[in-house]
Amino acid sequence: MPRKRRIRAEDFREWRLASDPAPSPDGSCFVFALQRTNAAENRYESNLYRVPARGGPARRLTHGVHKDTQPAWSPDGQWIAFVSNREKETPQLWLLPADGGEARRLTNLAGGGVRDVRWAPDGKRVLFAHRPQPKEDPEARKKRATFKHITRLRYRLDGDGYFPAERWHLWTARVPGGTVKQLTFGDFDDGHAAWSPDGRRIAFSSNRLPDADWHPTNSDLFVIPSAGGRPRQLTSHRGQASHPAWSRDGKRLFYLGSYAGDGEWNKKPIHVFSIPAAGGKEVNLTPKLDYWPVNGVLSDSLGGTFGAVLLPFGESGAERLLIMLNERGGCRLHSLPQAGGALRPEFAEDANVAAVAVARDGRSAAAVIARIEDCGDVYRLALDGSGGARRLTHFNRAVFGRLELSAPEETWFPNGRTRVHGWILRPPGYRPGRRYPMLLQVHGGPMAQYGYTFFHEMHVLAAQGYVVVYTNPRGSDGYGTRFRCGIDGRWGTDDFSDVMAVARAMARKPYVDSKRMGILGGSYGGFMTTWVLGHSTLFKAGVTMRQAGNRYSFFGTSDIGSSWHHDFGGYPWEKPLKFLRRSPNFYAGRIQAPLLIVHSEQDYRCPLSQAEELYVSLKAQHKTVELVQFEGESHGLSRGGKPQNRLERLRRIVDWFERYL
């Protein structure tokens, strides 16, 4: 057997990552997308694969150097619709014979995106969301004035860019002809659509308030005839209503929602609701649920974060609803009766369910699941309360099989009456009696969580000889509403106390060199890294990434900043000191530790100015600081940036701590 080696930064380029699982109508096989890295071209590519539900080799269905995603089976099982950027730069809808063969293009739309693919029950139409975005000839662009005329309060989105004039609306495409028809119109975005069982109606979610940009977390349910027509609004309360699903008889709709008013989205739990499809009063089916039914498990090796599902299944008279739950380091699956009642675990292992889809017979589901020692594979789940899960693929077994990896040690750190959940990763080849430098990782959000999924960055740092600890302090999701929202408007208080309690506990470990401790994190984790270094001298070096460092300027420059004034009880010009006191950039005079600042130039969530302010403030004091800006990257660089930029980012982090710890 070949000798195992320590993991390297570049190893992520060998992974193959599954997503978008879809069971065939008879449940006999699953189709899914599989992503790979094209290192030579510095990009990602994906194709469709098919695997028997009972187990067996996965068969590749599509080929080529492009992205094939979002597969969906026709009701008769003869066709697979999917989204691909083959032949055109912009994604289009394609059809593939289910047994394999040549794919053919179904749509030829002018620019923009295509997503949320859904077949009509009769198989004659495909429903999808589309946002037109015509491309301009580069030569013509050179000859005209180039500018952006902005009139909206919310005019850009991180990872998406500046909004075009058009909006996301619902469209259908005829099969096999490909004739497209736009169903919804107006100056708002529509999505999360679902066909009624008889195919005559479509339910969808939309924020159609006249001043929607001032109420960004609001959404309501609408129903429209599938042939087109005037949408009928079902819900009208302030809060969220999304992910609609129809009852088998078409008489009721189920959805994920909350009664969160402006600024309350983090304070009010998301529940499962039921409402008559003809209109009427909604019913909360999970009034005692205190965990968010979304995936909030962070990882740099697997997608799915902040996805959500609401999937009906089961036999007539015993129908149930399948939901994700973000709880205590994991994303698990539970179900409840369609009339409401106690939750039943369907997959309760310590793992991260990144995606799931229910087979038509309601007895099983296809899922992509990651565990703490791998970055995800395709599983078949039994939906009978047994928790049975059969792993169908092992795409990265060879890659992981040759790596010497430490097993994360789960632990709880006490801090007064609070217990902080976390994991300790010792270096491979750890030797008792030796003291190692330590790195403390702080996650973003903060309403997310570290947990039971493989985190490449942690293992790369451990392989360099560091003890790596990562935890979920107050503000994290997964431990109830009170734990998650207790620091709203108070970043740097109880969360700082939790982070420091973990750091002091680690400093007392016999295998940790307390004089060589570093801290790092991104987004909110960048906020906390900068905050800690400005309020403590315990850490000897830090790396702050995509940080939110100036809460005052964040209000006017972040794509989500204009709605955060609720946390401070007023706008920046009304409560300037409240914003500034919670801004780590304004404690730059106290920072003594060498600090590396990493940021993306197209980060619209935490704009580049947040990093530049901090860098200049420290450099002006002749302090040890460096700023690395990645061109063409957004907020999600660490998990979705160009392969070479992700690799360079990891190398910079490793080099920084090697120099200063």
Residue with tokens 């005019």: 155
- pLDDT for position 315: 73
Buried b (16+ CB within 10 A) or exposed e, 409-418: eeeebebeeb
- pLDDT for position 141: 86
Longest dimension (CA), the chain: 74
HSE of 260 in the Cβ direction (CA atoms, 13 Å)?
23
Question: Which band of pLDDT confidence, cut at 50, 70 and 90, is reported for residue 110?
Answer: confident
- Is there a contact between 216 and 563 (Cβ–Cβ < 8 Å)? yes
Question: Which band of pLDDT confidence, cut at 50, 70 and 90, is reported for residue 314?
Answer: confident
In the predicted structure, residue 14 carries a pLDDT above the cut 80: yes
Task: Report the alpha-carbon angle 95-375-430, nearest 5.
Answer: 165
What is the residue type of 366?
Answer: A
The tokens describing 155, both together, are 């005019």
- pLDDT for position 541: 98
Give dist(CA 492, CA 499) in Å, integer. Answer: 10
For the segment 13-19, the average pLDDT, to the nearest whole number, is 96
Angle between helices 494-507 and 524-535 (to 10 degrees): 70
For the segment 127-135, the average pLDDT, to the nearest whole number, is 91
For the segment 373-400, the average pLDDT, to the nearest whole number, is 95
Domain positions in the chain are 291-395, 406-660
pLDDT digits (tens, 9 = 90+) for 574-633: 999 999 999 999 999 999 999 999 999 999 999 999 999 999 999 999 999 999 999 999
For the segment 509-531, the average pLDDT, to the nearest whole number, is 98
The tokens describing 434, both together, are 């030796």
The more confidently predicted of residues 177 and 303 is 177
Q: Are strands 512-522 and 541-545 parallel, antiparallel or unpaired?
A: parallel
pLDDT digits (tens, 9 = 90+) for 546-570: 999 999 999 999 999 999 899 999 9
Question: Which band of pLDDT confidence, cut at 50, 70 and 90, is reported for residue 101?
Answer: confident
Give 267: exposed, middle or buried? Use CB within 10 Å, 0-12, 13-18, 19+. Answer: middle
In the predicted structure, residue 116 carries a pLDDT above the cut 90: yes
What is the residue type of 391?
Answer: R
Sign of CA dihedral 542, 543, 547, 553: positive
DSSP-assigned letters across all residues of 425-444 = EPPTT--TT--EEEEEEE-S
- pLDDT for position 546: 98
Question: Which band of pLDDT confidence, cut at 50, 70 and 90, is reported for residue 316?
Answer: low
- pLDDT for position 388: 84
Provide the percentage of residues in the chain whose pLDDT is more than 90: 91
pLDDT digits (tens, 9 = 90+) for 41-66: 999 999 999 999 999 999 999 999 99
Identify the DSSP state of 573.
T
The more confidently predicted of residues 90 and 23 is 23
- pLDDT for position 42: 97
Question: Which band of pLDDT confidence, cut at 50, 70 and 90, is reported for residue 456?
Answer: very high
Q: Which of 290, 266, 162 is nearest to 564 (CA)?
A: 266
- pLDDT for position 136: 78
In the predicted structure, residue 127 carries a pLDDT above the cut 70: yes
Angle between helices 643-660 and 456-463 (to 10 degrees): 40
Question: Which band of pLDDT confidence, cut at 50, 70 and 90, is reported for residue 1?
Answer: low
Count of helices and strands (H, E) across the chain: 11, 40
- Is there a contact between 467 and 512 (Cβ–Cβ < 8 Å)? yes
- Residue 394 has φ and ψ, to the nearest 5°, of -140, 60
Where is average pLDDT lowest: 173-187, 280-294, 307-321, 432-446? 307-321
- pLDDT for position 113: 87
Provide the percentage of residues in the chain whose pLDDT is more than 70: 99
Residue with tokens 């907020």: 635
- pLDDT for position 112: 85
The tokens describing 68, both together, are 């094939």
* First-last CA distance in the chain: 35
In the predicted structure, residue 306 carries a pLDDT above the cut 90: no
- CB neighbours of 416 closer than 8 A, spacing ≥ 6? none
- pLDDT for position 403: 97
Give me the chain's average pLDDT, please: 95
In the predicted structure, residue 2 carries a pLDDT above the cut 80: no
406-660: CATH number: 3.40.50.1820
In the predicted structure, residue 498 carries a pLDDT above the cut 90: yes
In the predicted structure, residue 317 carries a pLDDT above the cut 80: no
In the predicted structure, residue 335 carries a pLDDT above the cut 70: yes
Give dist(CA 364, CA 325) in Å, integer. Answer: 18
- Residue 107 has φ and ψ, to the nearest 5°, of -125, 155
- Torsion of Cα atoms, 138 then 140 then 144 then 147, to 10°: -40
pLDDT digits (tens, 9 = 90+) for 474-486: 999 999 999 999 9
Give dist(CA 61, CA 51) in Å, integer. Answer: 10
